Amino acid sequence: MTAVITKNQKLLSKQAESIQSKVPTIAVVKNDAYNFGLKETYEAFYKAGIRSFTTTNLKEAIELRQLDGTITVLLLDPSLAFDELREYQITATIPSLDYYRKYRADLEGIPVHLVFKNDLNRLGFTSSSDMQAVLDDSKINVTGLWTHFGYADDFESAHYVREVENWNRVLDDLNDYLPKLSCIHAQNSASYARDGLHDRHTHIRCGVFLYGSRPYYHGIDQKNARQTVEVSANVIELSDVKKGENAGYSTAFTASEDTRLAVCDIGYGNGLMPGRKAFPVIINGKEWPIRVMMMSHLLVEVDETVAVGDEVILYNGETLRFDWFTEQGLGSFSQQMAALNVRTFTERFISC
């Protein structure tokens, strides 16, 4: 028996279609499409009508281009691999005036987007006048502008409003250039769910919502976020522990009464977040607490109704949803998905 990851490409495509049919979407497919699989995700999103894809990773950008010669492939991170960018017609990101000055000649023949740094302070131009200098250069093929809102998921602070204002001022300053650009994008899933598409923007740039996770928990109906990944394991043994006995390494668990533990074939080595231990699993439709998490095993407290061979559900589309765990403080959808060590699972794939 092996732990199982179920990837539902059909639901993935449906979910993407529910968004793309309302707003032109650039699909974020970095980190092997949040571990769903780049090719499978490209197929689902393409079927949903999405024609623009983006990643931070040149290798993934080239893979996307090899899958499809017609889509737009945007590389979010700056790159110095100019020959490959040109050969594969990957839209590059210019991250600063210095980069532009240094590599101006190398950038010929490569479509580019300019990124504004904003409050995230990761990469980007710091002023609209610097961006204007590039837009005025007829040798550089600027096809788009973007920024990233680092606070859209954060309802506690007023920071999101400030970064939107910063960006709108940049767009005001560059207003005359906007009609010539095919792609102006700033909003991630949370920003789109909060505001819809902002004025003057052509696309949203969406990750988690496309994959079926609510970017925030309250105020978005669960049926609008179809969970596309499920994770399960198996009961491989039952271990009866007497009151006062320990189980797991270094007395990880001490039984306060006679206890039956189900040994399950999944652990942090499969990529479960360590904090997952605080939340139950489902066996035979009932929730049971995890008492110990090891690299390849969980010890789950059960009763006599649980048998060897029973399925143990870690993530499903109902109560054990990625976005519910995020709400409980376990980590974002991206963190939970990126952590999964997909190679250790048997994969069950439901194709579109």
Ligand X SMILES: Cc1ncc(COP(=O)(O)O)c(C=O)c1O
Q: Active-site residue numbers?
A: 30, 249
Residue nearest to ligand X (CB): 207
Q: Of 87, 107, 105, 86, which Cα lies nearest the Cα of 95?
A: 107
215 binds ligand X, rule: CB under 6 A: yes
Residue 304 C-beta: closest distance to ligand X, Å: 44
User: 95 with 102: CB under 8 angstroms?
Assistant: no
Tell me whether residue 37 or residue 207 sits nearer to ligand X (CB atom).
Answer: 207
Q: Could you write out the DSSP letters of every residue in 44-84?
A: HHHHTT--EEEES-HHHHHHHHHH-SSSEEEE-S----HHH
Please report where in the chains the tokens 């309250």 appear, as a residue.
Answer: 218
Q: 233 forms bridges with which residues in the sheet? A: 312
92 binds ligand X, rule: CB under 6 A: no
Among 91, 188, 232, 270, binds ligand X (CB under 6 A): 188
Q: Which stretch binds ligand X (CB under 6 A): 82-90, 126-134, 202-210, 292-300?
A: 202-210
Tell me whether residue 15 or residue 189 sits nearer to ligand X (CB atom).
Answer: 189
Tell me whether residue 76 or residue 281 sits nearer to ligand X (CB atom).
Answer: 76
How many alpha carbons lie under 13 Å from residue 47 in its C-beta half-sphere?
A: 15
27 binds ligand X, rule: CB under 6 A: no
Among 5, 12, 16, 28, binds ligand X (CB under 6 A): 28
Among 207, 212, 271, 331, binds ligand X (CB under 6 A): 207
Q: What angle do CA 217, 222, 225 make, to 5 degrees?
A: 95
Q: How far apart are CA 81 and CA 258, in angstroms?
A: 63
16 binds ligand X, rule: CB under 6 A: no
What is each CA distance from 108 to 105, 144, 170, 183, in whole angstroms? 6, 16, 25, 19
201 binds ligand X, rule: CB under 6 A: no
Q: How far apart are CA 217 and CA 194, in angstroms?
A: 12
212 binds ligand X, rule: CB under 6 A: no
Tell me whether residue 116 or residue 253 sits nearer to ligand X (CB atom).
Answer: 116
Interface characters, 40-79, with ligand X (x: CB under 6 A): ------------------------------------x---
Among 7, 65, 113, 148, binds ligand X (CB under 6 A): 148
Among 208, 263, 314, 340, binds ligand X (CB under 6 A): 208
How many alpha carbons lie under 13 Å from residue 113 in its C-beta half-sphere?
A: 28
Residue 264 C-beta: closest distance to ligand X, Å: 30
Report DSSP state, residue 198: P
Residue count (the chain): 352
SS3 183: strand
Residues whose CB is less than 8 angstroms from the CB of residue 224 and which lie 6 or more positions away in sequence, other chains included: 18, 214
Q: Which stretch binds ligand X (CB under 6 A): 199-207, 239-247, 251-259, 306-314?
A: 199-207
**Token output for 32:** 């092997």
Binding site for ligand X (CB under 6 A): 28, 76, 148, 188-190, 205-209, 215
